[in-house]
A and B are shown apart, each in its own frame.
Chain A
Amino acid sequence: MIPFDYRRAVDVESAVAEAGGGTAVAFLAGGTNLVDRMKLGVTAPEVLVDISRLPLDGVERLPGGGLRVGATVRNSDLAAHPVVRRDYPVLSRALLSGASGQLRNLATTGGNLLQRTRCAYFQDLSTPCNKRVPGSGCSAIGGHTRQHAILGASPECVAVHPSDMAVAMAALDAEVLVHGPGGQRTVALVELHRLPGDEPHRDTVLAPADLITAVDLPPLPAGARSLYRKVRDRASYAFALVSVAAVLDIADGTVRDVRIALGGVAHKPWRARRAEDALRGRPATEAAFREAAEAELAEAEPLSGNAFKIPLARNTIVSALRELAGERR
């Protein structure tokens, strides 16, 4: 591990100011991904600013409904929160499908959003990676790509975002509260993460000194049902091959509203707008679900090792919507 300085933040403003000074600063909360990367040498901050003791660990009701989740709320606490379990089952289930109990006890809301890809080539200093060393090349292309992207990738990077929580939040239209050098602002969660394009080293739209302070969850329409379905290579402690966060509101057999986000398929939580558009106002039938899924995946581009993700994503979307619609196959 490369030596670094450690400072404990006293408040949000000074933490942000500390990060804006030009040195390579990383905010430390749960550290479940950051510390691993530091051990591997993938990330080498000069200064760690510990924000874990800042008063950002509350979950509050928002006026007008909805919930504000503090950035340092632990994943396990959020998953178990009674309001989350009752009103946002998709989020609770997504959280509980991620990592392990020990990790969820440490990992935080903000950190979960900002965790980095687990692409094996990104995490191995001996293999070229444009995300780790811009311009060095992508080793995943032509390598092992079972876990990699089928949507929105670029010739520079085919990595996927590993979070489950963020996929659920994308389906919930969550908003991210950010405190930066210029003050506070709000970023839609679906806009937080980027597609790789020709700058795969940038995971998000945040600047280095931006600190996530909370995530707002707007209320779901009364009667909407939600779920998270994660498909992976073992029953626990594995990243998604494909995951689906879905919110479905049906009235009289017709889709009044639907929101679908996919995990494990892209560099960011993938909001399936085409599928949603294809379904809204249509009868809630398996045929319609399938057609919508296929519309979303029409532009999917598989790599050598992950063509199976296209039928897998289609089937998982259909399976999730069918379950929400109350149909059994």
Chain B
Amino acid sequence: MTDLVRPRVLGTTPRRVDGPAKVTGTARYAGDQPVTSPAFAWLVQAEVARGVLTSIDVGRAEALDGVLTVLTPDNAPRLADTDDAELAALQSHDVDFRGQVLAVVVARTPEIARHAASLVRAEVGQRPHDVHLSADRADLYAPEQVNGGFETDTARGDVAEGLERAAHEVDQTYTTAWYHNNPMEPHTTTALWSDDDLVLYESTQGVHTTREAVASTLGLPPGRVHVVSPHVGGGFGSKGTPHVHTILAALAARSLPGTPVKLALTRQQMFSLVGYRTPTIQRVRLGGAADGRLTAIAVDAVGQTSRIKEFAEQTAVPSRTMYAAPHRRTTHRLAALDVPVPSWMRAPGECPGMFGPEVALDELAVACGLDPVELRIRNEPEVEPESGKPFSTRNLTACLREGARRFGWAHRDPAPGVREEAGWLVGTGVAASTYPVNHTPGSQATIGFTAAGRYRVEIGAADLGTGTWTSLAQIAADALGVDFADVELRIGDTKLPKATVAGGSSGITSWGSAVVAAARAFREEFGDRPAGGDETTASAPAAPDSDKWAMHAFGAQFAEVRVHVDTGEVRVPRLLGVFAVGRVVNPRLARSQLVGGMTMGLSMALHEHSLLDERSGHVVNHDFADYHIATNADVPSVEAYWVDEHDPHTNPMGTKGVGEIGIVGTAAAIVNAAHHATGVRVRDLPVTLDHFLS
């Protein structure tokens, strides 16, 4: 049991601290930081998926007026650590995926750099490549563990026996597409060296994690790398781990002593250099007794990774938590391909992994003749099914019931394909959401009392546009027992105490716990009447209850879908989600996160799909004209609510994290509603109009 902070500012909606700077355009992002006489870098990328760089001619590029240097594998400095192959910039002549960086051109203006880059002639001896993902590949392998440190495979009981005992069986394969994170702000680094110190203005989800990776790659003591990132224009996981552009910018700046170098990726470059969500193939088998109770759950997930660096999406992991069943199995298999390196994208694991099973559950509901809300409630487990741990709190049933009430689910006619309004077939669907409560150990915070009588709260946390500038200050205010206006928060800088990465929806849990610890230590040391200059630092304590309790957020999402009778056009006029996410720090910011997640889920359901051309190994729709993300016109109404949830086990704030759960389950709810509208069961995302044309 943690000692919960008494909420006073928590639960209110103070004005966003960063709002005025952002709406007036004065918030400084990584590319906006004022530096003296910067140079600009442009990348030259491989145009084949696999091969060897046999020669690279930079003569014409270097001859261009304004070009300062061109780095290639022939002349780039050797890195101290190349264990992370993704970061081993210009260290080898091997080409391991299409889009790999072959050279970086630095010039006085971005236009000159771009022009010069087009003059670099790279000869690459092409080798046969393999980018084809399929569940039938003979070389699929089981990774040692999957993202998040989870076991690759689990089994309880005997799935075959469970299926044998079932009155109804669902055995289907579901696929999610290849997705790119696409934050609005492209990945950007401004690098400058002074003596042996490196300053990086970086768009990152974690200044300290960036520092560690850069320092080890370049062979510098971490203290010589200073990372600054006060504002980040979205990341969705793609700025959570360091990528090669940061190393390239640092190398380029080191080759030009005294000249800061700015490197901003283009949208197109982001499709090969900053991670993405693997496509997944999910075979789901469910056995259901006549009353709908599950006798067996099996989820076998296949994804891809790059041949040079493994990332194993934990697609089947959420099925270990969701529903009760005596016989169960989850597996993960990977194909190592000549593709760019996959990585985190909003709710890795849960987001794709709650698609197949939640659609399968809808199929089971149809087979059993049961309402899909009721089916889920009937399969509520008493403890976490695979770990056997009790849930610290589990309010999925409350979310389903409250969502059904708000959505108007009662009296729903389950028959598919029978409701038509003005040329549109109408249906409704539901799916569950879940996301774990992650605590990343290692954050520290410093609290000082200023001469002006305010409390300075320092931690190297990140604000990805999520609202950390405001929400962390709210936590500090309550932890100190002072007004919101008395807190002066400083984040986004490695000069501040160490903070863990903004990933896994763990930011508020991890940083907030450190802030609370520092506040309590400060009060203990200096009491309620500190003097100017009083200061203390404390670390977030280990999460003592995490061994005893299964801690997860849950939710229920409801969708209305309309499919045009003539054209098959798919519209989602209404999405409604109810979530159980512990205490909500700031309702306005939390709603924004949940609505944003659901919108991204809608976008995944209907639009997003990175189209791989297997002949060349590249994603052809690598811009915002062709990689469709939901527009405002696609999202007429998204409502997000939460149930009151008091969880004394998660952390001193009682929070669970809201950054990712909103995207979990949305696509399944939409697919289920599309089936209800049309009678057509789509099992492969995205749900495009051609599925419904006759």
Q: List 20 A-B contacts (CB under 8 A).
A: A1-B115, A118-B625, A120-B620, A126-B618, A127-B616, A139-B613, A139-B615, A144-B620, A231-B567, A233-B607, A233-B689, A234-B628, A234-B634, A239-B625, A308-B693, A311-B693, A312-B690, A312-B693, A316-B567, A318-B566
Interface flags, B613-649, vs A, CB<8A=1, else 0: 1011010111001101011111000000000000000
Q: Contacts A231-B689, A308-B693: A144 and B613 contacting too (C-beta < 8 A)?
A: yes
CA distance A90 to B237 in the complex (A): 44
Which chain B residues lie closer than 8 Å to A120 at the CB level? 620-622, 626
Interface residue range, chain A: 20 to 34
Give the dominant DSSP class at B's interface: loop
State whether A126 touches B47 (Cβ < 8 A). Answer: yes
Q: Contacts A2-B115, A234-B631: A144 and B621 contacting too (C-beta < 8 A)?
A: yes
Which chain B residues lie closer than 8 Å to A328 at the CB level? 422-423
CA distance A18 to B670 in the complex (A): 56
**B-side interface residues, number (CB < 8 Å):** 36
Tell me if B114 is interfacial: C-beta within 8 Å of chain A.
yes
CA distance A239 to B625 in the complex (A): 8
Tell me if B111 is interfacial: C-beta within 8 Å of chain A.
yes
State whether A236 touches B423 (Cβ < 8 A). Answer: no
Tell me if A88 is interfacial: C-beta within 8 Å of chain B.
no
Which chain A residues lie closer than 8 Å to B631 at the CB level? 234-237
CB nearest to B612 among chain A residues: A144
8 A Cβ contacts from B640-694 to A: 688-690, 693-694
Tell me if A121 is interfacial: C-beta within 8 Å of chain B.
yes
State whether B616 touches A319 (Cβ < 8 A). Answer: no
Which chain B residues lie closer than 8 Å to A241 at the CB level? 689
Q: Which of B618, B628, B630, B690 neighbours the largest number of chain A CB atoms within 10 Å of its CB?
A: B690
Which chain A residues lie closer than 8 Å to B615 at the CB level? 139, 142-143
Tell me if B568 is interfacial: C-beta within 8 Å of chain A.
yes
State whether A236 touches B628 (Cβ < 8 A). Answer: no
CA distance A235 to B572 in the complex (A): 10
Which chain A residues lie closer than 8 Å to B632 at the CB level? 236
Q: Which of A126, A139, A144, A233 neighbours the largest number of chain B CB atoms within 10 Å of its CB?
A: A233
**CB of B268 to closest CB in A, whole Å:** 8
State whether B566 touches A315 (Cβ < 8 A). Answer: yes
Interface flags, A299-323, vs B, CB<8A=1, else 0: 0000000001001100110110000
State whether B633 touches A235 (Cβ < 8 A). Answer: yes
State whether B625 touches A311 (Cβ < 8 A). Answer: no
CA distance A237 to B635 in the complex (A): 13
CB nearest to A235 among chain B residues: B633
State whether B620 touches A143 (Cβ < 8 A). Answer: yes
Tell me if B571 is interfacial: C-beta within 8 Å of chain A.
yes
Tell me if A238 is interfacial: C-beta within 8 Å of chain B.
yes
**CB of A313 to closest CB in B, whole Å:** 10
Q: Contacts A143-B620, A234-B634: A1 and B111 contacting too (C-beta < 8 A)?
A: yes
CB nearest to A3 among chain B residues: B115
Which chain B residues lie closer than 8 Å to A121 at the CB level? 620
CA distance A143 to B615 in the complex (A): 8
Which chain B residues lie closer than 8 Å to A86 at the CB level? none
- A-B pairs, top 3 by smallest CB distance, nearest first, are A308-B690, A236-B633, A235-B633
8 A Cβ contacts from A125-152 to B: 126-127, 139, 142-144
